[in-house]
Chain A
């Protein structure tokens, strides 16, 4: 299947700092990327959908000014957690799909563990 990578795989930061997470599609062009958040023992919760070259669409309850998403190319999307606080500590997962290929599935990255102290 298609390969999606994330960087970093884990990050620890101080409260109030900003953290950037990268999501890359390694062997295909991702017209659409999704960002999820997963708390311990819970399911994945969709945060936002981003289409290459356009603004991200955020799910209800997700602050767009806090979670900045940039999808500037067909192989890279970034999620920046601004002014992170301990409650933002979570497992962040991206996925990618290709609208033009008519794919019926998303391919997921390995996830990024964020711990805010």
Chain B
């Protein structure tokens, strides 16, 4: 299982763009990169997933360089409701087990 490393915490003001980078140096060829958001006392919520280059959906963008050893989750114009823990996971399928790292606690400041 590929290990991931993220910053433990980040602060941002409302309306700013937030970029959270995750390192996964031993990512395997078949692995995808998935980001989840978790609020206190709730299960993780899927945000975005990608394999290479750039992926964008209605809530976030995911940038993956050519070597795929890292990835960056970009949240445009964050609001207070984006305050949560964000997890980067690497795995080769929804039926394969993954290992959660510590995650990044994002605090959005008014």
Contact = CB atoms under 8 A, between A and B. Distances in A.
Q: Classify chain A: how many residues form its interface, as a range.
A: 20 to 34
Nearest to A107: B46
B42 to A, nearest CB: 6
Contacts of A74: none
Among A97, A105, A108, A111, the most chain B Cβ lie within 10 Å of the Cβ of A105
A99 B102 contact: no
A89 to B, nearest CB: 13
Given A43-B100, A45-B100, A107-B46, A32 B95 contact: yes
Contact of B41 (A4, A103, A111): A111
A104 B45 contact: no
Contacts of A61: none
Interface residues of B, number: 24
Given A43-B102, A104-B32, A111 B95 contact: no
A34 interface: yes
B46 A103 contact: no
Interface in A64-109: 91, 93, 95, 97-99, 102-109
B49 to A, nearest CB: 6
A109 B94 contact: no
Given A43-B87, A43-B100, A106-B98, A111 B93 contact: no
Interface of B: 32, 34, 36, 41-46, 49, 87, 91-103
18 contacts: A31-B95, A32-B94, A34-B97, A36-B100, A43-B87, A43-B103, A97-B93, A97-B96, A98-B95, A99-B94, A104-B34, A104-B49, A104-B93, A104-B94, A107-B94, A108-B43, A111-B43, A113-B41
Given A34-B97, A46-B99, 5 more contacts: A43-B87, A46-B100, A104-B34, A104-B93, A105-B34
